Amino acid sequence: MKIRNIKKLFLGLALLFSATACENFLEEENLSGIDSNNFFVDDESFGRAIASIYLELRDAYKTYPTDLLGTDIFIFTGFPLNKYDDLSIREDQVKKAWEAYYKVIQNCNTVISRAADIDDLTEEARNLGVAEAKTIRALMYFKLVQQFGDVPLVLEEVRTDKIDYVRENEEIVYQQMISDLEATIQVLPVSQELFGRATRGMAQHLLSKIYLTRGYLSYGDPADFTRSAGLVDAVIESNQYRLLDTYGEVFNDNNQVNDEVIFSVQYTTEVSANGEGNNKHQIGKYSLDGLDGYARINSVYSRPAGFTNVTPYMFSLFDEFDAEDTRNEASFHYTLFAIVDGTNVSVGDTITHYPRIPWTDEQKAAVSYLVVNPDQYNDNAYPLFKKFDDFTPYGDNEGTRDTYVFRLAETYLLGAEAHFKANNTDKALEYINTIRRRAATSDSDKSAMEISVDQLTIDFILEESARELAGETARWNDLKRTGKLIERAMAFNEDVQFHNTLREFHMLRPIPQNEVDLSGGSLKQNPGYTF
């Protein structure tokens, strides 16, 4: 979908979604025969328009290649976004991300533009709806500006064809995001009746991340780190959220609505309301197709795909604290079992084992299954990601699990980074050790998990973020923000090392060439990319 064609609010689709019970914010409803002139007439239609914003977030949070690949902990050998070679300006995954983000923005702008025209709407409902729309719009512009730099800053509903878009300086985009969020924080409630809608804590978390990111930039202000830290403190001290007792609880498939989640993209086990469903369960898992004892059925392995793999370096991050850190076992399948009877195995038999301490050749020879030692990990052999397992997948790759966008553990880690950059190392240490103590296997191990101030660096914070948040946050953005992308990708991503083509200009993605072509030349391409 191109910018010039997003002039209507989701009206060309067969489905629109409306609010329902707190477990499922999005519920399917068929609304055929509606156009933009008769849709915005009352509070019900306004509510549906708001719900359409959240619906479109589903695609905006399936941009795994641009979020994860070409980093220190995720790899897909030979893929352009991973090797930084042959990264055409027609790169499909970049185009998908651009289009998904702007589609959400158009829905947000429609709500903002039309709100004043609806007479049958209380002022409270109008203000809240606009605040939600501006918050989600800021979320999308934050994703865009990190990936592309200067981008078209569209703040009103597009009601007619428009092609002559121009890129706004990213400094202005940051100012707009900050202005919007500072205003919406004053309007958004601390909680919503319907789980999955924007709240004050969600906006504060987002704004803290925006300030933190701007603080590193040439036009940023050192005070941005202090502002970021203050917002983190406010979220934590609100007591609206809490860290669950264990890391494993956070990813319990039956516990997706929990006190640690600040904001998530909603799905449901009602398949008819899921559209294309969520496929996040497929990341961090190489394809098992053809493996004796495996079949593409609903299973604990959730139909792995192999398009976003985990680097060996990711597993090494647990080595120093392996005995005390529960996140390792909670995040990865170190043993794979047969889920169907096969040629040489029966259901429940071990088919592959990934020992954390290497086995000897004699130990391997004593068992009938495949044993892969850590130094043998590759794109087709490594412990599978466990944290996003979906126990009710359907179709070929669809799933029903929610996508966590923000949770309190990330807030603590953002706080550790912000306070560290603001030279408040005591608070930074307190926050990072809070996360590490929660990860301990037992109360007696909590002190062993703590680090000292001498160990606290940006690299350690990034490592801790990988242990805690791998696959949840956009790792590419995190490394770019901290100025560590080239250094860490070259050090720990074997495909990046092999091709040795990662350069400074890759810190910005190419603008999709179809957008440049449609603009008639008003949209300019990022440096380093040629047609």
pLDDT in tens, 129-160: 999 999 999 999 999 999 999 999 999 999 88
**CA 69 to CA 81: how far, in whole Å?**
6
**DSSP code of 116?**
G
Secondary-structure breakdown of the chain: helix, strand, coil percentages, each rounded to the nearest 5: 45, 10, 45
Residues 156 and 284 in one domain: no
**DSSP code of 5?**
G
pLDDT of 69 over the 90 cut: yes
Question: Which whole-number Å values give the CA distances from 168 to 100, 134, 175, 504, 523, in the listed order?
Answer: 19, 18, 11, 21, 10
Q: Which of 401, 435, 458 is the last residue of a domain?
A: 401
Residues 32 and 156 in one domain: yes
Annotate 138-174 with DSSP letters as a single string.
HHHHHHHHHHHSSB----S---S------PBPHHHHH
Report pLDDT for 11: 28
Question: Within a domain: residue 244?
Answer: no
Residues 412 and 432 sit within 8 Å (Cβ to Cβ): yes
Q: Does the pTM exceed 0.75?
A: yes
Question: Which whole-number Å values give the CA distances from 265 to 144, 478, 496, in the listed order?
Answer: 18, 20, 31
Residues 54 and 294 sit within 8 Å (Cβ to Cβ): no
Residues 323 and 452 in one domain: no
Helix or strand or coil: residue 531? Answer: coil
**AA identity, residue 355:** P
Residues 448 and 503 in one domain: no
Residues 46 and 111 sit within 8 Å (Cβ to Cβ): yes
Question: Within a domain: residue 99?
Answer: yes
pLDDT digit string, tens, across residues 454-500: 999 999 999 999 999 999 999 999 999 999 999 999 999 999 999 99
The arithmetic mean of pLDDT across residues 51-67, rounded, is 95
Question: Within a domain: residue 157?
Answer: yes
What's the domain range around 391? 271-401
The count of residues in the chain is: 531
Residues 113 and 160 in one domain: yes
Residues 511 and 101 sit within 8 Å (Cβ to Cβ): no
Residues 140 and 94 sit within 8 Å (Cβ to Cβ): no
Helix or strand or coil: residue 394? Answer: strand
Question: Within a domain: residue 36?
Answer: yes
Residues 131 and 7 in one domain: yes
pLDDT digit string, tens, across residues 406-421: 999 999 999 999 999 9
